[in-house]
Amino acid sequence: MLRRLRHRLFFTEIISLMVEAYMEFFISGWLNSQVTLNTTNGEVVSKYVGYISLFITVLVMPGAYLYMMRHPKIDFLRKKFTRKWGAFYEGVRTRYKVYSFFYFIFMMRRLLFVTVAFTTDTIIYQILFLNFLNLSILMYNGYYTPLVSRLANRIELFNEVCIHLATLHLIFFTDWLPDSETQYLMGWSMIVFICGCMLVNFSLVFYHAGRSIRLLFIKYYNRTSYKFKKLKEKYLP
């Protein structure tokens, strides 16, 4: 039991945490590793924590993913393999390995985004790179549809379109458009796209949450009704 718990905690839970919070770990690692002060113990600890975070996000996570992808496709269907590495392809089709690279691309996108943000001072280069990066992800999701369900693929594609349209608005906030009133209007246009994306996603979350609550209510209502019926038949013949 302890062995199964060890494998599950290390491979599943920690990998899931690192994948979902990949950008946060990378940003914290980058910022803490840039600390040049060593006057207090906290500053020294934060510096080494930054190095560890960078090591995990830049080397360990991509390396673990590529190691997993060396295994044959049939292993992805085995329970033992899924308990260890399932967080890397949860909800993703595994028929072809190009689908299984979904979370690897997910991590590399954030790695490139943060690297360009911290290393490039020219704003227009940042905006252009971000637009090309978003367009590449949009093409990948639209062409391969790597997720298992059709709804998940449509939601992912819709989110990518909204992100790309919002990113295109950043061009209008540079010196290319000197008119402040037009920039103000484009700012409202960007807000509309972002709010529309949030509204659609929140609507789906509330819909499926409400549906699950309704099914749970029906389940326990039927179970309680059945028990009361049995008690009535037993004590009130």
Q: What is the DSSP string of the chain?
A: -HHHHHHIIIIIIIHHHHHHTHHHHHHHHHHHHT----SSHHHHHHHHHHHHHHHIIIIIHHHHHHHHHTS-GGGGGSHHHHHHHGGGSTTB--SSHHHHTHHHHHHHHHHHHHHHHHH---HHHHHHHHHHHHHHHHHHHHHH--BSSHHHHHHHHHHHHHHHHHHHGGGGGSTT---HHHHHHHHHHHHHHHHHHHHHHHHHHHHHHHHHHHHHHHHHHHHHHHHHHHHHHHH--
Q: Does 121 score more than 60 pLDDT?
A: yes
For residue range 184-219, what is the model confidence (pLDDT) as tens digits? Answer: 999 999 999 999 999 999 999 999 899 889 888 888
User: What value does the mean pLDDT take over residues 36-41?
Assistant: 74
Residue 23 lies in a domain: yes
Residue 61 lies in a domain: yes
pTM for this model (two decimals):
0.79
**The last residue of a domain, from among 74, 98, 119:** 119
Residue 77 lies in a domain: yes
Same domain, 172 and 108: no
Same domain, 41 and 112: yes
Same domain, 8 and 88: yes
Please state, rounded to an integer, the average pLDDT across all residues of the chain: 85
Domains held by the chain: number: 2
**The last residue of a domain, from among 103, 119, 135:** 119
Same domain, 91 and 182: no
Residue 187 lies in a domain: yes
**The last residue of a domain, from among 78, 101, 119:** 119
Residue 129 lies in a domain: no
Same domain, 114 and 6: yes
Residue 124 lies in a domain: no
Same domain, 185 and 226: yes
Same domain, 163 and 53: no
Range of the domain at 25: 1-119
Residue 132 lies in a domain: no
Same domain, 89 and 170: no
Same domain, 14 and 90: yes
Give dist(CA 97, CA 109) in Å, integer.
18
Residue 54 lies in a domain: yes
Same domain, 187 and 99: no
Q: Does 159 score more than 60 pLDDT?
A: yes
